Structure 1
């Protein structure tokens, strides 16, 4: 099999691997990936002759502040029930306001780095 892009149009399909198995145990700075038993996307690629491109997105767990329920808690049990019935887990996120940035017509690289780090 030759690696590379196919010449026909319409060969780019994105399937985001993830879901309940990753969303519930996710924490700031911790990434959980479940792949061993997830083979359906490979089956679909084989059925349609679609190329697979491995991509991993870092830092998604650091974007939101998730409400974390302790094991056995009523909220945790409700999440587990929802996951069992619906096949995915409903996570609760706290959403903050906008991140204020001052107006600097010609920011220095250090200033750009500072706000990037923030």
Structure 2
């Protein structure tokens, strides 16, 4: 997951929330190398596991995060195990976004292509969610 452990801890079945706004290094690298950005989304990934909902464990997670900066997640799969639920994963790939090759890109240029990538990712999600998501009218891709 792009957002690492922080994103994993937000993962819930039927919910699509990704941490992408502060993640711009991949855009900087794409511009430095002149490599197109390709929006990709996998449906069903958030349905493999749930997170603990125990208030005690959630408080412990918060305490550990504030003390260490490490966000632990406690995934719950089939039953109460770490085995993922049986769920089909469908990966959709969008059209490449061509980027200029600039050895030292400005923050403005990075932000411009990062915003284009996020917009295209949302469009890709919206275009395909009716095929792969239960109750698609109520589901949105949330980018934080």
The number of equivalent residue pairs is: 80
Tell me the TM-score normalised to structure 2 length. Answer: 0.43
TM-score, length of structure 1 as denominator length: 0.51
Pick closer, same or farther for the CA change 1:94–1:17 going to 2, 3 Å.
closer
* CA drift at 1:30: 1.0
Match of 2:29 in 1: 44
Alpha-carbon distance in 1 for matches of 2:28, 2:47: 31
Q: Which runs of 5+ in 2 are unaligned?
A: 86-144
Task: Say if 2:46 is the partner of 1:61.
Answer: yes
Aligned-residue offset at 1:63:
0.5
C-alpha distance in 2, partners of 1:98/1:75?
A: 21
Q: Name the SS for the 1:24 alignment partner.
A: helix
Please state which structure has a larger fraction of its residues in helix.
2
| Cα displacement (A) at 1:22 | 1.9
Provide the rounded CA distance (Å) in 2 between the counterparts of 1:35 and 1:75: 22
RMSD: 3.0
Question: Radius of gyration: which is bigger?
Answer: 1
Counterpart contact for 2:14–2:46, Cα < 8 Å: yes
Distance in 2 of aligned mates of 1:35 and 1:65:
21
Give the superposition deviation at 1:42.
0.2
Give secondary structure in 2 for the equivalent of 1:32. Answer: strand
On the 8 A contact 2:48/2:77 being kept in 1, the answer is no
Which consecutive unaligned segments of at least 5 residues does structure 1 have?
1-15, 100-118
Show CA shifts across 1:6-52 (max 9, x none). xxxxxxxxxx5222342222212111122222211100111122221
